[in-house]
């Protein structure tokens, strides 16, 4: 009997011992770090962060001077064209010519007004291959500006919104990493529970085999009824099925965890029960303050309101009286050679004022404007409600976390008591002091208490990492998870 118990116990532990000896025994924190460093989801978060960084750099470049060189070298034509004559007739003439242009320009957007100033230099060449004639013309230097009046200024609103959007993306990255911690914690406990279930099932099988062997001897001596013997045989068969199912669950959850954390080694993983619970107090005021300071939602609320205001401004600016002023001043010349362009150039100016005044649009402008204004109100109402839900979610999570801490202490004590009760019941059954029914009840209570304790552990750590995600604050160490980088 003792040899059988030792053999089954050895079979139970061989998986976990081999894992520990090969360095594949992991704590919850090690699993989380692996998920953050090498999982496919962490790589996706990194890529999204990089993408949003370059989007922000694109926005910033709109406010920097843009130096460009444009040209057409050459624009060659060889064809027959129609030309009107002085007597009203049309003559068809064969032409073969080329126009070449080269323009160097420096442009600078004016964010405050939404306009643009520019400095340019342009050189042009015309070639007539029929007459072997070539001439140059150009503008050595000219400066100009283009300024919309009363129109929508996209630069003004981009300066307000885009920095918020970028700041939001940085906080979103930290939240994504905390979400990875949360998911890794859930998968960790899925596998841990499967391992504990295998331990429970294997130990129950060993115990039931031992009790069955003893019961057969007592039955032969006429000390127990046949019904008790049959019940013990049924218990043993049930234990064998539970061991098989526990092994299958172990393989399934092990594969899921390995896939999520990016663990490619073809080795077994043994998990360490995270029963060392951090001791700290969570104040609602501190949690809400940190959440408002650190989370992307706090920035998102501002951005959504600003975007709604921008839509109203655009609806008003693009659907009313619009005017545009364009003016240039510079130098121009022509010559047979390129140096002639820059010798004694002449002044050149141009001014253009355009306007657009809607006369009758059958209420279209008003409808567009009213739609934008109604949407602004809706966004403000939604944001106000989201802010209330934002605070309430944190308060609810804090209360749940504190409740789970107390629940964990109770289930841990219940696990210890039920295990002791089962050991006593087993010994009492072996000496014939209690019935098989009482033993089965003690076995059931022992298994339920163990699983209840693990469930409480799971709920506690899940709530812990969920609080970190909701506030981007580590209450255990008192540090902010969002560094602003």
Which helix or strand (DSSP H or E) is residue 169 part of? helix 154-220
Residue 279 domain-assigned? yes
Six-digit token string for 363: 């209420």
Residue 370 domain-assigned? no
254/402 same-domain check: yes
Mean pLDDT estimate for the chain: 86
Give the 3-state secondary structure percentages of the chain, helix then strand then coil, rounded to 5: 60, 20, 15
Range 103-126 average pLDDT? 90
Q: How many CB atoms lie within 10 A of CB 343?
A: 10
Range 179-184 average pLDDT? 94
Closest to 282 (Cα-Cα) out of 274, 273, 291: 291
Residue 61 domain-assigned? no
Q: Pick the residue with more confidence: 426 or 43?
A: 43
Say if residues 125 and 131 touch (Cβ distance below 8 Å). no
The confidence score (pLDDT) of residue 22 equals 44
Residue 310 domain-assigned? no
d(CA 419, CA 442): 9
Could you give the percent of the chain with pLDDT greater than 90?
43
148/290 same-domain check: no
291/435 same-domain check: yes
143/34 same-domain check: no
Domains of the chain: total = 2
344-384 residue pLDDT tens? 888 887 787 776 777 777 788 888 888 999 999 999 999 99
212/301 same-domain check: yes
Rounded to the nearest 5°, which phi and psi values hold at 432?
A: 80, 25
Say if residues 321 and 357 touch (Cβ distance below 8 Å). yes
Handedness of CA 191, 455, 27, 46 (dihedral sign): positive
Q: How far is CA 156 from CA 55, 62, 314, in A?
A: 18, 12, 11
Residue 126 domain-assigned? yes
100-123 burial: b if 16+ Cβ within 10 Å, else e: bbebebeeebeeeebbbebbbbbb
Say if residues 183 and 32 touch (Cβ distance below 8 Å). no
Residue 456 domain-assigned? yes
Say if residues 239 and 201 touch (Cβ distance below 8 Å). yes
Of 16-30, 161-175, 445-459, the least confident: 16-30
Check whether 8 has a pLDDT greater than 60: no
Residue 213 domain-assigned? yes
Range 148-169 average pLDDT? 90
Bridge partners for 117 per DSSP: 108, 145
Closest to 280 (Cα-Cα) out of 464, 31, 108: 464
199 Cβ neighbours under 8 A, 6+ residues apart:
12
The confidence score (pLDDT) of residue 21 equals 42
27/86 same-domain check: no
279-303 burial: b if 16+ Cβ within 10 Å, else e: eeebeeeebbebbbebbbbbbbbeb
The confidence score (pLDDT) of residue 16 equals 44
187-235 residue pLDDT tens? 999 999 999 989 888 888 888 888 888 878 877 877 778 888 888 888 8
74/100 same-domain check: yes
Beta strands (DSSP E) in 215-321 are 270-271
Check whether 185 has a pLDDT greater than 50: yes
33/87 same-domain check: no
402-426 residue pLDDT tens? 899 889 899 989 989 998 988 898 8
- Domain carrying residue 23: 2-56+159-305+377-480
The confidence score (pLDDT) of residue 307 equals 93
Instruction: Give the angle subtended at the CA of 291 by the CAs of 288 and 296, to the nearest 5°.
Output: 150
Q: In the listed set 357, 385, 420, which residue is the last one of a domain according to the structure? A: 357
């Amino acid at each position: 009997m003792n040899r059988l118990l030792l053999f089954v116990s050895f079979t139970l532990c061989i998986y976990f011992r081999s894992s520990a000896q090969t360095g594949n025994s992991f704590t919850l924190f090690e699993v989380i770090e692996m998920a953050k460093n090498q999982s496919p989801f962490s790589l996706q978060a990194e890529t999204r962060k990089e993408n949003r960084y370059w989007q922000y750099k694109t926005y910033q470049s709109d406010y920097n001077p843009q130096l460009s060189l444009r040209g057409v070298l050459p624009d060659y034509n060889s064809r027959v064209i129609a030309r009107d004559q002085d007597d009203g007739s049309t003559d068809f003439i064969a032409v073969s010519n080329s126009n070449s242009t080269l323009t160097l320009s420096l442009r600078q957007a004016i964010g405050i007004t939404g306009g643009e100033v520019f400095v340019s230099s342009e050189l042009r060449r015309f070639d007539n291959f029929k007459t072997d004639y070539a001439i140059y013309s150009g503008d050595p230097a000219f400066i100009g500006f283009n300024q919309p009046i009363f129109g929508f200024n996209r630069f003004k609103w981009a300066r307000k919104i885009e920095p918020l959007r970028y700041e939001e993306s940085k906080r979103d990255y930290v939240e994504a990493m905390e979400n990875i911690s949360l998911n890794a914690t859930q998968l960790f406990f899925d596998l841990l529970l499967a391992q504990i279930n295998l331990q429970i099932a294997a130990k129950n099988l060993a115990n039931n085999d031992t009790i069955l062997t003893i019961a057969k001897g007592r039955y032969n001596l006429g000390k127990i009824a046949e019904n008790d013997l049959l019940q013990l045989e049924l218990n043993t068969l049930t234990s064998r099925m539970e061991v098989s199912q526990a092994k299958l669950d172990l393989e399934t959850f092990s594969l899921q965890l390995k896939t999520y954390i990016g663990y490619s080694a073809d080795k077994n993983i043994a998990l360490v029960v995270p029963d060392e619970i951090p001791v700290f107090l969570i104040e609602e005021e501190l949690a809400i303050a940190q959440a408002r300071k650190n989370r992307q939602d706090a920035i998102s609320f501002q951005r959504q309101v600003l975007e709604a205001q921008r839509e109203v401004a655009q609806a008003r600016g693009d659907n009313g009286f619009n005017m545009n002023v364009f003016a240039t001043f510079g130098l121009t010349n022509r010559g047979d050679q390129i140096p002639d362009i820059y010798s004694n150039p002449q002044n050149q100016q141009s001014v253009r004022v355009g306007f657009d005044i809607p006369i009758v649009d059958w209420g279209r402008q008003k409808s567009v404007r009213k739609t934008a204004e109604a949407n602004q109100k809706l966004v403000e109402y939604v944001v106000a409600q989201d802010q209330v839900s934002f605070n309430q979610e944190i308060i609810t999570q804090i209360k749940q976390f504190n409740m789970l801490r107390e629940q964990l202490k109770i289930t841990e004590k219940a696990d210890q008591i039920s295990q002791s009760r089962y050991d006593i019941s087993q010994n009492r059954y072996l000496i014939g002091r209690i019935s098989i029914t009482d033993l089965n009840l003690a076995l059931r209570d022992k298994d339920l208490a163990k699983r209840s304790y693990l469930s409480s552990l799971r709920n506690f750590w899940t709530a812990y990492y969920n609080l970190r995600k909701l506030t981007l604050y580590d209450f255990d160490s008192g540090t902010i998870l969002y560094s602003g980088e």
